[in-house]
Structure 1
Amino acid sequence: MPSVEANGIRIAYETFGRADDPTLLLIAGNGAQLTFWEPDFCELLAEAGFRVICFDNRDAGLSTKFDEAGTPDIMAVAAAVGAGREVASPYSLDDMADDAAGLLDALSIEQAHVCGASMGGMIAQIVACRHPGRVLSLTSIMSSTGNPALPQGRPEAIAAVTGPAPEERDACIEHNLAVWRAIWSPGFPFEEERARAFLATSYDRSWCPQGMARQSVAVILSGDRRRALSSIRVPTLVIHGSADPLIPVEAGEDTARTISCAELLVVAGMGHDMPTPAWGRMANAIVGNARRAFAGSRGQTSPGPAGNRPAVRRAGPESAAH
């Protein structure tokens, strides 16, 4: 697994496609490793003409861990923030966005299309804000602006994701399989064989729940990002499931409203996951958004929908088939 020194840490990464194709950088979510972006999905994007790069965020996978910072109590952190008290954190989402830009620097990549899912969507948004000259297009999947007025996730989904997992391998896999079920897409069949194989590979590669807790603190402390996000001017695609129990679809709608050049794709029946029958539709949308950036550089597109209202496309499970 290749890695580089970037932004003061070691970052592990993987690539798909031709080195001379335009770069598409994929950013994983809270606690997820680069393996979140499964090879068949990455190959779909590579076959469309992109050099796909996915990487381990700090505190995940094979990238630098911050174990010296200890394991925070997420509920206590959330309560302290809600009460207006200051909370210390070893890093922020801004730092994680700078990691992504640093990875591009280390690989001598001047500009890239940037796509992130869940927390990775938040990081991708911040990359577009902090490093606007580096981002050709932005895709934010099942993510949020941090708007405190948005609906919260379902209590059972939040409890499943934040509950402690056993350390023993088989018990941990069973626990995380239950988490997958809790946030799975009700409009799609549950993919148990895929889930088990993915969870086993993830555990064996690097199981680091402490890192996930520290990343959660960074998310909580990131606050309301709408003012910064309103500055984004690159072609933006927001993808969200209509049945997301963890980050409700209203968060995707809010993201698309906030970014004036955004289009919104709502996938009917999709939860807080990426079911394989939806991969084809999602990949096509990501590619289409990237091509908007190329067309815009040639003067062929307008900045975005009028009146800051996102163009909305709705994909049902049957139309999202691979």
Structure 2
Amino acid sequence: MPKTTANGIEIHYEEHGKPEDPAMLLIMGFGAQLTLWPDELVDELVGHGFRVIRYDNRDIGLSQKFDGVKAPGLVKMTLMSKIGLTPRVPYTLADMAADGIGLLDALGIDRAHIVGASMGGMIAQHVAAKYPDRCLSFTQVFSTTGNPKLPPAKKEALQALVTRPKSDAEEELVSHGIMLARTIGSPGYPSPEERLRERTLTSVRRSFYPEGPTRHLSAIVADGDRSSMLGDISVPTLVLHGEDDPLVPCEGGKHTAECIPNAKLKTIPGWGHDLPLELVDELAGEIASHARGSVAA
């Protein structure tokens, strides 16, 4: 897999499609490697005529790690946020947005369609707000504004996300990954056991780095409420969200669409916090249609 220096750190990435096609940058979420973007979705987007780039965020996968850099505890950060103080964290979502722009710079890409999922959607919000001249369009997938008044994650979904495996043994890591995927996944589109196990095993063998998500979480908490910032986004925006998302409730996507001028919203019943094969064609079609329409407009 290629690697490059972006925003002063080493980023691992993949490119798919023709170099001359419009670029589309996929930004993945909390503690997730680039491989969480299904190959089938990437292939569909390539088939729609895009040069698709997916990459590992800093501190995860095969990108640069921030070993030994401590993040403040979740309780301390939450309390500070409630009284209007911004906790000091190893890095911010704005820093991670600059990583994405740095990757575009390294690849010689002036403008790209930006697609972000979950925490990646939060990062993409910063990209769209702060680097509008680099964005052809913005698509947010199951993400939110950070408004504290929005409905929280279901208790079991949040617990599954932040709980660490009992050991570093491969089978334990795979079992834990499958449990997490089942807990936050789509009730209307459950993944076949064999596919889920294979994908989880591939992810574990590619990289296991439990320290990175701790710092990712600190960046999310420290970022706070982005509602005001979203009002400044002028990039053509599409918000995609599952109506049965247990981790980031659909209200988060709806609120995003309300905050961004002229944003379009598409919700799908039965869809949770994953990218099931049954929805690949529909999601790729929505993303591609929005991207093409944004350029035509």
Place the TM-score, normalised by the shorter chain, in its bin. over 0.9
For 2:192 and 2:233, the matched residues in 1 are separated by 36
Check whether the contact 1:235–1:292 (CA below 8 A) recurs between aligned residues. Answer: no
Deviation track 1:168-207 (CA, whole Å, cap 9, x = no partner) reads: 1110110111111111111123332222111111111111
- What TM-score, normalized by structure 2, do the two folds share? 0.96
| Alignment partner of 1:282 is 2:279 | no
What are the Cα deviations for residues 149-168 of structure 1, in whole angstroms up to 9, with x where unaligned? Answer: 10101111101111122321
CA distance in 1, matches of 2:230, 2:244: 24
Superposition map of 1:236-251 within 5 A? 236-251=237-252
SS class of match (2:252): helix
1:63 lines up with 2:43 in the alignment: no
Kept after mapping to 2: 8 A contact 1:11/1:63: yes
Q: Return 5+ residue gaps in structure 1 as ranges.
A: 297-322
Matched residues in 2 for 1:115 and 1:199: separation?
23
Q: CA deviation at 1:77?
A: 2.9
**Counterparts in 2 of 1:13-52, with a 5 A limit?**
13-52=13-52
Q: Which residue of 1 aligns with 2:161?
A: 161
The code of the aligned residue for 1:28 comes to: M
Deviates more, 1:188-197 or 1:78-87: 78-87
Aligned CA RMSD, in angstroms, stands at 1.3
Q: Distance in 1 between matches of 2:153 and 2:93?
A: 21
Q: Percent identity?
A: 46
Residues 1:258 and 2:259 are matched in the alignment? yes
The residue number in structure 2 matching 1:148 is: 148
Instruction: Give the aligned partner of residue 225 of structure 2.
Output: 224
Which structure is richer in relative contact order (CA contacts within 8 A, separation 6 or more)? Answer: 2
> Structure 2 CA distance, aligned partners of 1:36 and 1:210?
18
- Residues 1:185 and 2:186 aligned together: yes
Structure 2 counterparts to residues 73-92 of structure 1, below 5 A: 73-92=73-92
Compute the TM-score of the two structures, normalised by the length of structure 1: 0.89
The alpha carbon displacement at 1:72 in A equals: 4.9
Secondary structure in structure 1 of the residue aligned to 2:68: helix
- Aligned in 2, Cα 1:209/1:71: closer, same or farther, shift over 3 Å? farther
Q: Alignment length, in residue pairs?
A: 296
What secondary structure sits across from 1:4 in the alignment?
Answer: strand
Q: What is the aligned partner in structure 2 of residue 12 from structure 1?
A: 12
For residues 104 and 79 of structure 1, the distance between their equivalents in structure 2, rounded to whole angstroms, comes to 37
Q: Which residue of 2 aligns with 1:204?
A: 205
Post-superposition CA distance 1:59-91 (Å, at most 9, x none) = 011111111203653344334433545522110
Whole-angstrom distance in 2 between the partners of 1:192 and 1:47: 28
Provide the rounded CA distance (Å) in 1 between the counterparts of 2:203 and 2:191.
19
CA 1:137–1:223 in 2, change beyond 3 Å: closer, same or farther? same
Aligned to 1:305: none
Between the aligned partners of 1:20 and 1:187, the Cα distance in structure 2 is 38
Shift in Å at residue 261 of structure 1? 2.1
8 A contact 1:26–1:116 mirrored in 2: yes
> Which secondary structure state, in structure 2, belongs to the residue aligned with residue 68 of structure 1?
coil
Partner of 2:114, secondary structure, is strand
Pairing 1:3–2:3 present: yes
Shift of 1:4: 0.6
Question: Which residue does 1:138 correspond to in 2?
Answer: 138
